[in-house]
Amino acid sequence: MIVKIKTELCISAAWVTDSDWSHGVSGHIYEIIEYFYLLSKKYSITILLGDSSMSETWFKKIIQDKYNFNQGEVENIITNTIFCNKPPRYVIGNKILFVDGCLVKMQTCGIRLFFDKIYSFKCSKYEQLVNLDAYDVIPLLDYRVYEDVCNDDVKSGINYIKKMLIDSYNSIICKDDSAMLYLTRNCRLLPVEQVMHILNKYMDNFNNYIIITDSDIYNNLPATILNPPVDNIFTKFGTYIYTPTTMRWDGSPRFPVECKLHEKKIILEGIDEAYLNHDKGLMYRLQDMQSLDNINLTQSDAILDII
């Protein structure tokens, strides 16, 4: 199968090549929506999604739940989105921007790209973007996070800090005293014993625990289990217990930023100075979000000059 992108720019994310796993909702899905919204002011643009579980109905609900876009803006996003039910052999177009690490996955499973320019946000220090076979990739990455750990990408890349379309988020008025843990299979699963320890540690502080997960390993714990995507997720809890990731890496986390925006408390569980020295993505995000203006995606954002 060949996918031909006729617009000036394509934004892509969430490529899944394992039939037993679905990418589902993650921060990268919201990144693709938000950068489409901004870059569509400059380019004719297409979204390309590579997870067979994603549908037009699903995507539309995701958009309406989070953003205060008008009906025309929502329809513009949906109309310009291509949903791939199975991996194509070739993808052809002018310019493409990947907002997650799927470029490496696409190459591994044999998807070939033919674009004049390929840009990619860097979200992991464990994957190198430059010197991929047959591709001339321009990494967009926060130099503070990746210097000294990904020198080749830094040398070939453009210094850029990922932003969030904060001004377009729906207002949240519900305040709940539950505590939430986000424990999905996408790098965030923790052993059951460790999670039970966390629940016992804060037992006297909260009336209820919520665990958002796509796994069944926590089903017997004393918590409300919710499977993502969760409708109006920020109305469900008052405190977010941020837990370590499997690889101690969170390149540019969004959830803590939204918690601050919606006046939710954040507990950094198991996150000490040594952890932050390893996970510089989380460290610099926590610093930057002290003023949300630092990471607000606006009409004057540098991405409009970069691409």
Among candidate residues 160, 190, 205, the one where a domain is terminated: 160
Same domain, 75 and 154: yes
Helices assigned H by DSSP within the chain: 27-39, 56-66, 71-79, 102-108, 143-146, 151-156, 192-201, 255-261, 273-278, 280-288, 303-306
Same domain as 126, residue 184: no
pLDDT tens for 134-192 read 568 898 999 999 988 888 888 889 999 999 999 999 998 776 789 999 999 878 999 99
Pair 155, 197 in one domain: no
Looking at 106, 125, 160, which one is the last position of a domain? 160
- Same domain? 140 vs 194: no
Scan for tokens 């729906």, then name that residue. 170
Q: Is residue 166 part of a domain?
A: no
Higher per-residue pLDDT: 211 or 151: 211
Of the candidate ranges 1-5, 61-65, 109-113, 165-169, the one whose mean pLDDT is the lowest: 109-113
Distance CA 276, CA 296 (A): 23
Q: Where are the alpha helices (DSSP H) in 40-163?
A: 56-66, 71-79, 102-108, 143-146, 151-156
Residue 55 within any structural domain of the chain: yes
Q: How many CB atoms lie within 10 A of CB 181?
A: 24
Structural domains in the chain (count): 2
Instruction: Name beta bridge partners: 106.
Output: none
Residues 243-256 have pLDDT tens digits of: 999 888 888 899 99
Q: Is 146 left (phi over 0), alpha (psi -120 to 50) or beta?
A: alpha
> Which of 108, 135, 160 is the C-terminal boundary of a domain?
160
Range of the domain at 60: 2-160
Q: What percent of the chain has pLDDT over 90?
A: 64
> Between 175 and 287, whose confidence is greater?
287
Does any domain span residue 165?
no
Q: Match 């958002």 to its residue by tokens.
A: 212
pLDDT number for residue 154:
83
Whether residue 66 has pLDDT greater than 90? yes
Predicted local confidence at residue 14, as pLDDT: 65
- Give Cα 66 distance to the centre of its chain: 14
| Domain match, 68 and 128 both | yes
Same domain, 156 and 194: no
pLDDT of 232 > 70? The answer is yes
Q: Are residues 22 and 111 in the same domain?
A: yes
Domain check: are 18 and 154 in the same one? yes
pLDDT: is 180 or 228 the higher one?
180
Residue scoring higher pLDDT (112 or 71): 71
CA-closest candidate to residue 172, choices 84, 260, 278: 260
The closest of 258, 276, 274 to 266, measured between CA atoms, is 258
11 within 8 A of 39, measured Cβ to Cβ: yes
* Highest mean pLDDT of the ranges 1-15, 107-121, 209-223: 209-223
Say what the pTM is. Answer: 0.90
Q: Does any domain span residue 303?
A: no
User: 79-92 burial, b if ≥16 CB within 10 A, otherwise e?
Assistant: ebbbbbeebbeebb
* Range from 92-96, 128-132, 256-260, 287-291 carrying the lowest mean pLDDT: 128-132
Selection from 121, 127, 103, 105 nearest residue 249 by Cα: 127
pLDDT at 16: 58
pLDDT at 297: 97
Paired tokens of 172: 């949240």
Taking CA atoms, 36 is separated from 43, 102, 164, 171, 213, in Å, by 9, 17, 12, 21, 28
What is the average pLDDT across 122-145?
78
Mean residue pLDDT across the chain: 89
CA distances from 147 to 43, 127, 159, 241 (A): 31, 14, 11, 29
